[in-house]
Amino acid sequence: MPRETRNAPPTIKQVAALARVSIKTVSRVINGAAYVSDAARRRVLRVIERLNYRPNALARGLVTRRSGSIGLVIADIVNPFFPPLVRGVEDAAAARGYNVILCDTDEDAARERAVISVLLEKQVDGLILCASRVPSGYLKGLADEGVPLVLVNRVLAHPRATAVVVDGVEGGRRATRHLLDLGHRRIAYLAGPAGSFSHRSRLRGDREALAARKIVFDPSLVAGGIASIAAGRQAMAELLDLKRPPSAVFAFDDLMAIGAIEEVRRRGRRVPEDVAIVGFDDIDLAAFVDPPLTTVAQPKTEMGRLAALRLLEMVEGSSPPRPRTMTLTPELVIRRSCGARSIPTIRAPGTPGPSRKEALT
Amino acid sequence: MPRETRNAPPTIKQVAALARVSIKTVSRVINGAAYVSDAARRRVLRVIERLNYRPNALARGLVTRRSGSIGLVIADIVNPFFPPLVRGVEDAAAARGYNVILCDTDEDAARERAVISVLLEKQVDGLILCASRVPSGYLKGLADEGVPLVLVNRVLAHPRATAVVVDGVEGGRRATRHLLDLGHRRIAYLAGPAGSFSHRSRLRGDREALAARKIVFDPSLVAGGIASIAAGRQAMAELLDLKRPPSAVFAFDDLMAIGAIEEVRRRGRRVPEDVAIVGFDDIDLAAFVDPPLTTVAQPKTEMGRLAALRLLEMVEGSSPPRPRTMTLTPELVIRRSCGARSIPTIRAPGTPGPSRKEALT
DNA sequence: CTGTTAGCGCATTCAC
DNA sequence: GTGAATGCGCTAACAG
């Protein structure tokens, strides 16, 4: 029997009345705690069933100071890097009875602050921040307030903040070293967003690998600044227009690497014969582009899972889990965009999963 | 000055005290409504700033009966079909001040019921259900309760339910007709999940197109049942093992189509020369696989946007918007997996955007 | 094992 | 223009 407006949902009071018990008893059977006589419990359950009663989580949260929701802040769910990560946190959260409120920022610091603010008003029990672009001071302020906080791929020097990062420096080193091992000497870097912590560390790894081989870093071999296919294409174009174009490029992420491949081929040149390309992330697409992309894989789902697990430890436990920063080591996945001896079949996306290593902070 | 535990956040009461006004006045300046003297407002604002006060949305929701959150239920965020859709609803929701709580069901009806239940406990203001697998009766029950409900790619005969669907029958017709126009007569169908409404309509479109050309539908030319690359590969294998294998296949979605391409090539045969393949969805990957996939495009972001807009109309307005079912027409994107005269350059993903048509219900 | 009494933080009648 | 009182639906002490 449909009615005109949203029906007033049944309350715990009505359930109690119909079951002829006190409110508290109903509360007890709902929360499973304490002892309730079997008879009473059965009556209550029957009424709950009949009324289709659902406890109001807002009311509950108001008193318990727990909303049962966590906030997940990412750059953009359409960026293929994020779905696996989101899924990882969702699954871990759901397993412990939490929901996730998802917010995209497009890497805009102002929007990030705004969504964090709203999330906090909604009384989320904690926050997972990916691709965070707000100043450290702001983040420390949150941590000082006592907001459980987990950062992904960014660290924060604060006793109450926690992070899950994959070692971007090492990833950059491995990428560039791979190119060096293949004989390349003019290796370009397709830069990610200037404000990005990941970008900085990958670039650092790149320079370290170069330095280790006594190759001087050439700043003219850096182009880009936005992580997208289009930007990768554009940056590659600039590089190709150089008097002495690079023979290889290490891209901030797979999206840029794919754009770079497109641009190289658009000009009638070949990958990897004319230009070798390494990406970063190992998004699903990477295995399917032509040629399949050699890339530094991040364990995305695992990162999400770990971030959620650590966050919930902070929420439910007392002190932040140790080590405060959990560092995972990324792995080079060799496919065909570099001309190295490649594995025979296309690697199924997400199969091997990079190794994991914890580092103290 | 960090403390050990989460600080007790400031309340409206403290703000009122420090600003030397009543609670109500604070409430007024926060909600922007009613008149407040400039002096009082300024004082309040200053205190809010100083205390870093954030109104407690749970408490507010308890009294207003509005949580400011909507529930978004999808199959799996890792399936490339969903991110653009999710982004569409997120953006539309954010623009009106709503957050979205995301839940994956993996197309499991029991899990779907469970997440819906939790979402309702959290007092979401409405629900967007994609890839819904629960019985219609259950959905009608929700609608009867007065829960604002928008279904995506599924319809529900109920005066208070609303839907955004892309015409799967027409999509199927276009896909198969395209193959027929290319001269194919043995056209297989890679089936999606049996419980899927999208699957049923696409299959129907396929059969209608066949019938229109007086071709008898051959049930042995149907394989599959799961929407994934692996399942597509598997199903294609079965088809290829037939005494009389098909010369073309229409796949339930792009993932299956990509799996099919892989299997065909694994056997040393070519796409489209030996087997022509059409997919459905136009996920980003489709433009990048080799050969680029001809597919029936769904306007994913737009679907999400419309779903959110309609939901919020129901939430904030009185009656469900008309037409109750909004039908979008999908468009065939011709690339190279069918051997048709294809467009010269790779179509940038998501560029043209299928046409839109509303249909009354 | 069970009921009674207080609020949680806020918005909302009313008066003033 | 503003304030005091009431309750949203629920949990948490405490008795009993």
The pLDDT confidence band at residue A341, using thresholds 50, 70 and 90, is low
* Smallest CA–CA distance from B53 into chain A, residue: A121
Round the average pLDDT of chain B to a whole number and report it: 90
> What is the per-residue pLDDT across A285-332, written as a single tens digit (0 to 9) for each?
999 999 999 999 999 999 999 999 999 999 998 778 889 999 999 999
CA-nearest residue of chain A to B2? A144
Whole-angstrom Cα distance, residue A330 to residue A165?
Answer: 10
B30: confidence class by pLDDT, cuts 50, 70, 90: confident
By Cβ distance, the residue of A6, A7, A104 closest to B90 is A104
Higher-confidence residue: B39 or B171?
B171
Q: Where are the alpha helices (DSSP H) in chain A?
A: 12-19, 23-31, 38-51, 57-64, 82-95, 109-121, 136-145, 168-181, 197-212, 229-240, 254-266, 300-316
Q: Give SS3 for A164.
A: strand
Residue B51 has pLDDT above 90, yes or no: no
Query: Which residues of chain A does B143 touch, with a Cβ-Cβ cutoff of 8 Å?
Result: 2
Task: Using CB atoms, pick whichever of B67, B100, B262 lies closest to residue A58.
Answer: B67
Banded model confidence at residue A171, pLDDT cuts 50, 70, 90: very high
User: Helix or strand or coil: residue A344?
Assistant: coil
pLDDT band of A114, cuts 50, 70, 90:
very high
Q: Smallest CA–CA separation between A179 and chain B, in Å?
A: 24
Q: Do A146 and B5 touch (CB under 8 A)?
A: yes
* Phi-psi group of B3: left, alpha or beta (phi > 0 → left; psi -120 to 50 → alpha; rest → beta): beta
The beta strand positions in chain B, using DSSP E, are 69-74, 99-104, 127-130, 149-152, 162-166, 187-191, 222-224, 248-251, 276-281, 294-297, 325-328, 331-333
Residues of B in contact with A54 (CB under 8 A): 117, 120-121
Q: Give the distance from CA A322 to its chain's centroid.
A: 20
Q: Is the CB of B84 less than 8 angstroms away from the CB of A78?
A: yes
- With 0-12 CB in 10 A as exposed, 13-18 as middle and 19+ as buried, what is A346? middle
Which residue among B55, B159, B285 places its CB closest to the CB of A288? B285
Average pLDDT over residues B117-136: 97
pLDDT tops 80 at residue A35: no
The fold adopted by the segment(s) B69-167+300-327 is Rossmann fold (3.40.50)
Per-residue pLDDT band for A357 (boundaries 50, 70, 90) equals very low
Cβ contacts from A onto B, under 8 A: 149
Closest CA to A120 of B53, B3, B87: B53
| Alpha-carbon torsion angle A257, A260, A265, A267, nearest 10 | -170
What's the Å distance between residue A24 CA and nucleotide D14 C1'? 13
With CA of A123 and C1' of each nucleotide, the nearest comes out as C9
Contact B90 A101 (CB under 8 A): no
Residue B192 has pLDDT above 80, yes or no: yes
Task: Give the residue from B87, B125, B261 showing the smallest Cα distance to A58.
Answer: B125
The whole-angstrom distance between B218's CA and the closest CA on chain A is 32
Contact yes or no for A257/A190 (Cβ under 8 A)? yes
One-letter amino acid of A273: E
Within 8 A of A260 by CB-CB distance, chain B residues are: none
Q: Do domains B12-64 and B69-167+300-327 have the same CATH topology?
A: no
Q: Are A252 and A221 in contact (CB under 8 A)?
A: no
What's the confidence (pLDDT) of residue B13? 83
Sheet harboring A331-333: ordered strands across?
Answer: A222-224, A187-191, A248-251, A276-281, A294-297, A331-333
Nucleotide nearest residue A63, measured CA to C1': C8
Average pLDDT score, chain A:
91
Which bases of strand C have any atom within 7 Å of the beta carbon of a protein residue?
A: 1-5, 7-13
- Which tokens sit at A310? 């650590």
CA of B54 to C1' of D2 (A): 23
Higher-pLDDT residue of B335, A353: B335
Contact criterion met (CB < 8 Å) for A90 and B77? yes
Report which of B296, B336, B288, B281 is spatially closest to residue B80, judged by C-alpha positions: B281
pLDDT tens-digit map of B172-183: 999 999 999 999
Whether this prediction's pTM lies above 0.85 is answered by yes
Band of residue B16 on the pLDDT scale cut at 50, 70, 90: confident
Instruction: Say whether pLDDT at B78 is over 90.
Output: yes
* Nucleotides in chain D with any atom closer than 7 Å to protein CB: 1-5, 7-13
- Cα torsion for A244, A245, A249, A255, to the nearest 10°? 150
The answer to whether the Cβ–Cβ distance between A55 and B80 falls below 8 Å is no
d(CA A243, CA B202): 54
CA B68 to C1' C8, in angstroms, rounded, equals 20
A 10 A CB-CB count for B120 gives 19
Task: Name every chain B residue with its beta carbon within 8 A of the beta carbon of A145.
Answer: 6-7, 9, 52
CA distance B279 to B294: 6
Q: What confidence tier does A42 reach under pLDDT thresholds 50, 70, 90? A: confident
pLDDT of residue B1: 35
What is the pLDDT, as a whole number, of residue A34? 63
Task: Over range B185-212, report the average pLDDT.
Answer: 97
Lowest mean pLDDT among A13-22, B57-66, B93-102: A13-22
Q: Identify the pLDDT of residue B5.
A: 53
Q: What pLDDT was estimated at residue A345?
A: 43
Residue type at B300 in one-letter notation: K
**Per-residue pLDDT tens digits for A132-155:** 999 999 999 999 999 999 999 999
User: How close B156 gets to chain A, by Cα (Å)?
Assistant: 15
Residue-level pLDDT at A225? 96
**Do residue A86 and residue B100 have CB atoms under 8 angstroms apart?**
no
Q: Under an 8 A CB cutoff, do B146 and A6 touch? A: yes
Query: How many whole angstroms from its chain centre is CA B289?
Result: 23
* pLDDT score at B172: 98
Q: How many CB atoms lie within 10 A of CB B200?
A: 17
> Is the predicted pLDDT of residue A31 greater than 80, yes or no?
no
pLDDT reported for residue B341: 66
Best interface-test mutation with A: which of B62, B121, B142, B318 has the largest number of A CBs within 10 A? Answer: B121
Q: Distance from residue A123 (CA) to nucleotide C8 (C1'), in Å?
A: 13
What are the extents of the domains in chain B? 12-64, 69-167+300-327, 168-298+330-353
- Residue B83 has its nearest CB partner, among A62, A83, A147, at A83
Residue B26 — pLDDT band, cuts 50, 70, 90?
confident
Give the confidence band of A336 by pLDDT, cuts at 50, 70, 90.
Answer: very high
How confident is the model over A213-258, as pLDDT tens digits?
999 999 999 999 999 999 999 999 999 999 999 999 999 999 999 9
- A interface mutation test: which of B4, B51, B89, B102 has the most A CBs within 10 A? B102
Contacts of B11 (CB under 8 A, 6+ apart): B53, B56
Q: How far is the CA of B60 from the C1' of C16 (A)?
A: 26
Instruction: Tell me the percentage of chain B whose pLDDT exceeds 70.
Output: 91
CB contact set of A330 (below 8 Å; sequence gap of 6+): A166, A167, A168, A170, A171, A174, A280, A296, A297, A298, A299, A354
Question: How far apart are the CA of A130 and the nearest CA of chain B, in angstroms?
Answer: 16
Please name the member of A57, A118, A258 whose beta carbon is closest to the beta carbon of B123: A57
Give the model's pLDDT for residue B36: 73
Buried b / exposed e along B335-361 (16+ C-beta atoms within 10 A): bbbbbbebeeeebebbeeebeeeeeee
Nearest protein residue by Cα to C1' of nucleotide C2: A25
Q: How confident is the model at residue B34 (pLDDT cuts 50, 70, 90)?
A: low
Name the minimum distance, in Å, from the CA of A53 to any CA of chain B.
9
Q: Average the pLDDT over A83-108 and give the result.
A: 97
Distance B16 CA to C14 C1' (A): 20
CATH fold label, B12-64: 434 Repressor (Amino-terminal Domain) (1.10.260)
- Report phi then psi at B65, rounded to 5: 60, 35
pLDDT in tens, A265-276: 999 999 999 999
Nucleotide with C1' nearest the B22 CA: D3
Of residues A85 and B31, more confidently modeled: A85
Q: How far is A115 from chain B (nearest CA, A)?
A: 9
CA of B147 to C1' of C9 (A): 26
Pick the CATH number of B168-298+330-353 from 3.40.50.300, 3.90.550.10, 3.30.465.10, 3.40.50.2300: 3.40.50.2300
Please check the confidence at residue A348 and state whether its pLDDT lies above 50.
no
| pLDDT surpassing 80 at residue B348 | no
Q: Are A353 and A347 in contact (CB under 8 A)?
A: no
Which nucleotide has the least CA–C1' distance to A12? D9
